[in-house]
């Protein structure tokens, strides 16, 4: 989707603040935000791509104003209401209304194993890939209304297939719970001048992991 979260190449937001020796968390509440998000994800009501899409779908003013973990909480609130685990009234008041939803909670002793397993996206079967390493491809110039992992600044640009990662869950489909639709995932190499034009201030390359459905032969 074309929203403020896809900020690559956008100007007018000022310099990025760089914090020397930046801590992992800036406050105890950020640890709790991460823990709550991971714990509720284990309920099986959504997947990692759906959670990303929920954060991206925040109104532009909200997204810009919020910090990183505030965005996580906003996205989590959206998912909890959408899946019927909380009502909008309960969220606004902080007071439960009726019997809580029946869910299987994660116990503390289960957490290390769950985190160690992670959420692998590689699959053994799916759509065959159409491209080979070294082949020229063009990123599609499309503007889907839903989630996409194709950055706006790469659309319509020509690159070279640099790596073939194999079959992986297609995030654009998985984010909307429309199935995993496994397909080939490539690392595509774009020349900086191709992306930003001949007046680009730096020479070099940009690498992006893109799925087969994001590309066409060039």
**What are the tens digits of pLDDT across the range 178-218?**
999 999 999 999 999 999 998 888 889 999 999 999 999 99
Half-sphere CA count of 192, side-chain side, radius 13 A:
7
Of the listed ranges 36-45, 59-68, 105-114, 151-160, the one predicted with least confidence? 105-114
Asked: is 136-217 a CATH 2.30.30.50 domain? The reply is yes
CATH superfamily, with its number, for domain 28-117: Nitrile hydratase, beta subunit (1.10.472.20)
Same-fold call for 28-117 versus 136-217: no
Distance CA 27, CA 203 (A): 39
Overall pTM surpassing 0.75 (yes/no): yes
Return the structure tokens found at 3.
């929203």
Mean pLDDT, the chain, rounded, equals 92
Residue ranges per domain, the chain? 28-117, 136-217
Sheet of strand 136-139, all strands in order from the earlier edge strand to the far edge: 205-211, 183-191, 158-168, 136-139, 215-217
pLDDT digits (tens, 9 = 90+) for 68-110: 999 999 999 999 999 999 999 999 998 988 877 777 777 888 8
The greatest distance separating any two alpha carbons of the chain, rounded to the nearest whole angstrom, comes to 62
Question: Residue 7 burial by CB count (10 A; 0-12/13-18/19+): exposed, middle or buried?
Answer: middle
Contact 168, 211 (CB under 8 A): yes
């Amino acid at each position: 989707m074309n929203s403020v979260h896809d900020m690559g190449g956008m100007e007018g937001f000022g310099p990025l603040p760089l914090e020397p020796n930046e801590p992992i968390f800036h406050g105890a509440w950020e640890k709790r935000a991460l823990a709550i998000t991971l714990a509720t994800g284990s309920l099986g009501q959504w997947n990692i791509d759906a959670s990303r899409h929920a954060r991206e779908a925040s109104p532009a003013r909200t997204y810009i104003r919020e910090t990183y973990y505030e965005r996580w909480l906003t996205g989590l609130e959206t998912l909890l209401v959408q899946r019927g685990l909380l009502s909008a009234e309960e969220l606004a008041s902080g007071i439960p209304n009726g019997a809580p939803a029946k869910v299987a909670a994660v116990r503390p002793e289960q957490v290390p194993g769950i985190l160690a397993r992670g959420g692998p996206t590689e699959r053994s079967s799916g759509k065959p890939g159409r491209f080979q390493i070294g082949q020229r491809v063009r990123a599609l110039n499309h503007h889907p209304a839903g989630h996409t992992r194709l950055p706006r600044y790469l659309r319509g640009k020509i690159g070279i297939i640099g790596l073939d990662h194999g079959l992986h869950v297609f995030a654009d489909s998985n984010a909307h719970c429309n199935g995993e639709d496994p397909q080939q995932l490539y690392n595509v190499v774009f020349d900086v001048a191709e992306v930003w034009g001949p007046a680009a201030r730096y020479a070099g390359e940009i690498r992006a992991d893109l799925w087969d459905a994001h590309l066409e032969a060039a």
